[in-house]
Chain A
Amino acid sequence: MKKPEGEPPFEALLQSLRPGRAFDLRGYKRPGLMRRVRRRMQALGLDTFPAYARYLEAHREERERLLDALLVNVTTFFRDPPAWDALRREVVPRILAGKPRAEPVRVWSAGCASGEEAYSAAIVLAEAMGEDAFRGRCTIHATDADDEALARARAASYAAEDLAGMEPALRERYFEPANGRRVFRADLRGAVLVGRHDLLRDAPFPRLDLIVCRNTLMYFNAGTQAKVLARFHRALEGEGTGTGYLFLGRAEMILGSAGLFAPVDLRCRIFARAPGTFIAAAAQAARSGGSSMSRIRPKVELHRELVPLAEAAAVAYHVITDKPPPLRDSEALREVRSRVAIALANVAPLLRQENGSAVPLSSREIRERLLDPGAKPDLEGLCVRRLDLLSAVESLKAAHAAFDGTGKPS
């Protein structure tokens, strides 16, 4: 076990808070947590963590007040207008352009607090797609770890002053008056799924096009940030596009996880899932590829951990040459497969058996077997780990030399 970061009495206090709410504070930065707890202690005139822990035991209502103080929720509609403008101008059009066949658009507002961010995203998308398409194609997951905030997000009802900063035309179009307040339009509200989610414990939503997570990561320590970013990276495969976008808060950066994302607008903290990865390229190829039934349509099931070598080879061929793959069962395709397999074998031990264990051959043996013109190389049962493929891109590109300009192996 990792040793706790703070002082023992403080860690004991955190520990005592855990059973109350299914909520894990261990990944949060200690100085901030301590400062917020001390502020509560000051208000009560208590000097030590153990004294405060005893007070907490005796006064159940203090628990709620403390958790409320620990989970900072500062949020408004379209907070940082220039950043939202950049999202509207640069990112949303790209997401929609990547879906020529009206595929679903999937968004996650992670750490949505009382929902302002999620509904801001909903408005931006509804404006860009049109209301009908938004209702039909768009899903926005709005999650937080704070139940109280979630209840407000679910109600989607805001005071007039909460909406004061919004463009009046948008306010009129998307909010309906009710009991002196304004409620997000019910017919569009259905696209926003509000739910409880702990970023540190619960699995992320898959196949997302956009994650809006602003001023949430900064409360986590560096190790936890890296973990969450890795999860975001996996989740942002895009519904059919391979590239999703990440929208962070102004003080947040991707430093330790720089390889996972590339900046789209650094000042506005908008990032794209790193381009040039094999899967992104494969998805791109799959989308632009011909769909004639007589051809193998490049396809990688993005969630599968192991990609059969033959399939990986066909996709790689397509990605590298930008040509439709050769006919199924043709001599040409078999040739292509073994050449790509050779390229992959250069970066062994990437090859796996279907059960995930490494192929019990050295990379040299694999190469020799595949190169032997007499022995028809048998690729059945050989798989490539998806993650290994990402690092094998260079080798795959080198394999391009194996193809001549006609798309047939030389």
Chain B
Amino acid sequence: MAGPQSDWLRSTLSAVRELMLQRLEKRPLDAETERDLQMALEELEVMWEELQGQAELLQKESERYQEFFDYAPDAYVVTDAGCSVREANRAALELLGTDRTGLVGRPLGEFVAEADRPAFVSKFVGLSLEPADRAIAWRCRLRRPDGSAAGVTITVRAIPLRRSGIAGLCWLMRPD
């Protein structure tokens, strides 16, 4: 992933090194200065390698996490604090009977059966009064886009974000 970027930086570094050596040839500095310059360039290369390694590690970590989330056997949905869906795993898409494009960005409440929506809203409002680490759970009925229904137990907990309060909500839905 860091391929083209690293080539770009590498070639810039070697160009700088080349330039430096040419200049030195024309107008030699003392050996110590030349050594210092060489070392500074070498340090930049090592820094770049380190950052590149970190980027690869982060990428792998994020893929690993995505995999874990996607293949978790329970249905998970993450929404923003206003209940708009940010992401959902496979089990959630199956349970809600939709695909990713039909879900992401939509209010989760649309998938709750009409009769259960007032309760859904009041639970949702209640959640904002709970301390951040408390989860609340209740039973309700879902309504899928194809009109079919399913009873589930919803558990939801706020995802705290340091300094800026609620970052979002994490929803677990288990069929009854």
Contacts and interface: CB of A to CB of B under 8 A. Distances in A.
User: A and B bound?
Assistant: yes
User: Could you say which interface size class chain A belongs to?
Assistant: 20 to 34
Contacts of A249: 47
B45 A35 contact: yes
Nearest to B58: A255
A218 interface: yes
B131 to A, nearest CB: 14
A219 B46 contact: yes
A251 B47 contact: yes
User: Could you say which interface size class chain B belongs to?
Assistant: 10 to 19
B21 to A, nearest CB: 11
Interface string B106-148: 0000000000000000000000000000000000000000000
Interface in B3-44: 36, 38-40, 42-43
Contacts of A252: 50
A77 B41 CA distance: 19
Contacts of B48: 251
Contacts of B40: 74
Interface string B37-74: 01110110111111101100110010000000000000
B50 A255 contact: no
Contact of A72 (B42, B49, B51, B58): B42
A222 B54 CA distance: 9
Main secondary structure of the interface of B (DSSP, over half): helix
Contacts of B51: 251
Contacts of B47: 215, 218, 249-251
Contacts of B49: 29, 31-32, 218
Contacts of A255: 54, 57-58, 61
B162 to A, nearest CB: 10
B46 A72 contact: yes
Contacts of A250: 47
A73 B39 contact: yes
Among B46, B49, B53, B58, chain A packs the most CB atoms within 10 A around the CB of B46
A251 B48 CA distance: 8
A219 B45 CA distance: 10
Given A253-B54, A255-B58, A215 B43 contact: yes
Contacts of B50: 218, 251-252
A72 B57 contact: no
Contacts of A74: 36, 39-40, 43
A39 B38 CA distance: 10
A72 B43 contact: yes
Interface string A196-223: 0000000000000000000100110010
A16 B45 CA distance: 26
A36 interface: yes
Interface of B: 36, 38-40, 42-43, 45-51, 53-54, 57-58, 61
5 contacts: A72-B42, A218-B46, A218-B49, A219-B46, A222-B53
